[in-house]
Amino acid sequence: MVRPMNHDLFEDARWAISAIARGLNAIGGPAAELVLSRLAEQDLTMKDFVERRPVSIDVTRFFAQAIAETMMYDSVVAAALASLDGHLKWCQSSAYTDEILGEGFFQNYGWCQIIGPKGFFKGDDFLLGILMLGPNRHYKDHYHPAPELYWPLTGPTLWKQGQGEFELKQAGEIIWHPAHVAHATKSNARPLLAVWSWTRDTDTPAKLVEA
Ligand SMILES: [Fe+2]
């Protein structure tokens, strides 16, 4: 029997989700556990699968380099995410501007959803995706009602929330942003690739503090 073309993509999307789940489960802790419990509630069958029109943006020129670096940390997650290359719908938050974020920011920033309205499964008020930042970028303070997990796959990178200082985080160190708390990220000399998840209240997009 010939399988439909998108069955392979469905399996790759499921592979990426299960690789991320396995990685988060191995790390443990309340933030990872909350994401995993929300993930367990999502519909992820073939009948829920949606093949999105892929969109490539400037920052994806760093994708292969970031995947290569991720191989050093978690080769299964790296391989699973690499299998989705060319099928992802890369996005940028439309409320953001170069004026606030620095010249060239839009050539060095983007995110996509694996689960969510722009992802392969629509999700139930739950988003799971990946973020990329080019080298030496400052993704300035922003906030949103959704509680958020970040799982950087490359690094080290710098992360800050609220009135705190920037803290160095290695690849694999989970970052948790409670609802509405402003947060910022700085990449180093190499591009950042990170898994992210919004666990609820996903309808309101992020806003820059300076906007
Ligand atoms: Fe955020």
Query: What is the 176 CA–ligand 1 centroid distance (Å)?
Result: 9
Taking the C-alpha atoms of residue 188 and residue 119, their distance in angstroms, rounded to an integer, is 28
At 191, which CATH number? 2.60.120.10
- Kindly tell me if the per-residue pLDDT of 4 is higher than 90: no
pLDDT band at 94 (very low <50, low <70, confident <90, very high): confident
Nearest one of 152, 175, 63 to 108, comparing CA atoms: 63
Long-range CB contact pairs, 166-170, < 8 A, 24+: none
Half-sphere exposure of 187 (CA within 13 A, CB side): 22
Query: What is the 68 CA–ligand 1 centroid distance (Å)?
Result: 25
What pLDDT digit, counting tens, does each position of 110-120 carry? 999 999 999 99
Query: What is the 200 CA–ligand 1 centroid distance (Å)?
Result: 13
Nearest one of 116, 134, 133 to 125, comparing CA atoms: 116
According to the model, what pLDDT value does residue 2 have? 60
- Kindly tell me if the per-residue pLDDT of 124 is higher than 90: yes
CA triplet 164, 25, 14: central angle to 5 degrees? 110
- Kindly tell me if the per-residue pLDDT of 74 is higher than 70: yes
CB 157 within 8 A of CB 199: no
Query: What is the 195 CA–ligand 1 centroid distance (Å)?
Result: 12
The residue range of the domain holding 71 is 5-208
- Kindly tell me if the per-residue pLDDT of 5 is higher than 80: no
Query: What is the 149 CA–ligand 1 centroid distance (Å)?
Result: 8
Q: Chain-centre distance of CA 141, in angstroms?
A: 17
Query: What is the 169 CA–ligand 1 centroid distance (Å)?
Result: 16
C-alpha torsion sign, points 117, 119, 122, 128: negative
Number of domains in the chain: 1
Query: What is the 1 CA–ligand 1 centroid distance (Å)?
Result: 44
What pLDDT digit, counting tens, does each position of 24-62 carry? 999 999 999 999 999 999 999 999 999 999 999 999 999
What pLDDT digit, counting tens, does each position of 171-199 carry? 999 999 999 999 999 999 999 999 999 99
Please report where in the chains the tokens 């950087």 appear, as a residue.
152
Model pTM?
A: 0.96
pLDDT > 70: percent of the chain: 97
Query: What is the 201 CA–ligand 1 centroid distance (Å)?
Result: 12
